[in-house]
Amino acid sequence: MSMLNKVCLITGASSGIGKETALALAAQGAELFLLCRNAQKGEAVLAEIAAQSPECRATLLLGDLASQQDIRRVAQNFLDTDKPLHLLLNNAGVMNTKRKVTAEGIEETFAVNHLAYFLLTNLLLERIKQSAPARIVSVASEAHAFVKGVQFNDIEYKTTPYKIFKVYGHSKLCNILWTRSLSQKLAGTGVTVNCVHPGAVATHLGHQDNALLGKIVGGITKLFFKTPEQGAQTSIFVATSPSLDNVSGEYFANCKLGKIKPWAKDDVAAERLWKISEEYLKIA
């Protein structure tokens, strides 16, 4: 779809594939709202957008997706603009080397990578539907293959040994299942919902709680992984391609339909996850 004058909200746009996606959409004429946690990094992205696409209108929204209070505030800040919302790109994510909890006491990877997507989208959903045709795109991952299904008996890894890739993969499985459920609920509204696997990308993911490890891993991954610009291509494709006007509930990798594990197609588990998420967020 043409992005000229389309309004887009992108989370995690201060670096990595979120930033590269923002730059690409700005170049296509979109108006951007960038949800970032770090003001300095967010302002730097705004400056880069202004330099590359001077006609682009871009607004910084400051908030921490680990905080439900912040998510609600930021969502309301956007709604108060009375602008339409043609594209919501849930991009932000964390990968922690050890178990951490949010201010609400929820395991952080699950909270940021899944519950934040769920809550922010829910809060903006009526505006998105009013703006149809519109799209919701969420960054998932092939890492969903690291688990064999949603661990409903210990969804926050309170007693299960905390293994970084397994916990991350579990949250990304939640993204895919939630996308399937949401697409079914939005059938006929003119809003499509899809998720993407960006590929193995050299970004700051995993650097949040261990700077030294991040530098070591970052140096290695730059040699073999995609650049953030390359990694953003599937997000950009799913957000803008006219060929996907009526495609919803799917998973994309390398700018084409991707393969997912059988447990990522479990609609019963998806509906159970939906109800549990509502309980966490008190939005049922």
Q: Encode the chain (284 residues) as per-residue pLDDT tens digits.
A: 689 999 999 999 999 999 999 999 999 999 999 999 999 999 999 999 999 999 999 999 999 999 999 999 999 999 999 999 999 999 999 999 999 999 999 999 999 999 999 999 999 999 999 999 999 999 999 999 999 999 999 999 999 999 999 999 999 999 999 999 999 999 999 999 999 998 654 445 544 555 555 554 444 344 445 687 888 999 999 999 999 999 999 999 999 999 999 999 999 999 999 999 999 999 75
Q: Is 192 in a helix, a strand, or coil?
A: strand
- 263: in domain: yes
Q: Which two tokens stand for residue 126?
A: 């009526």
What's the CA gap between 182 and 136, in Å, rounded? 10
**Phi, psi (degrees; rounded to nearest 5) at 252:** -120, 145
Q: Is residue 1 part of a domain?
A: no
Number of domains in the chain: 1
Q: What is the CATH number of the domain that holds 14?
A: 3.40.50.720
Neighbours of 215 (CB within 10 A): 11
Question: Is residue 146 included in any domain, yes or no?
Answer: yes
> Where in the sequence is the domain holding 215, given as residue range(s)?
7-281
How many of the other CB atoms lie within 10 Å of CB of 185?
A: 12
Give the DSSP letter of residue 115: I
Given 117, 168, 251, 280, the catalytic residue:
168
Half-sphere exposure of 225 (CA within 13 A, CB side): 21
Burial class (CB in 10 A: 0-12, 13-18, 19+), 97: middle
pLDDT number for residue 216: 46
pLDDT, position 199: 65
Backbone angles phi, psi at 8, to 5 degrees: -125, 140
Single-letter code of the amino acid located at 269: A
| Inter-residue contact 197 to 253 (CB < 8 Å) | yes
Contacts of 18 (CB under 8 A, 6+ apart): 10, 11, 12, 89, 91, 92, 232
Phi, psi of 227 (to 5 degrees): -75, 160
Q: Specify whether 117 is catalytic.
A: no
Sole residue written with tokens 């992108």: 10
pLDDT given for residue 145 in this prediction: 95
What pLDDT does residue 217 have? 46
Tell me if 195 sits within 8 A of 239, measured CB to CB. no
Residue 2 located in a structural domain: no
Amino acid 248 reads S
Q: In terms of residues, how long is the chain?
A: 284
**Whole-angstrom Cα distance, residue 102 to residue 116?**
12
C-alpha 186/C-alpha 261 separation (Å) is: 23
Q: Nearest CA to 249 among 240, 258, 143?
A: 258
Q: Which pLDDT score, from 0 to 100, does residue 226 have? A: 65
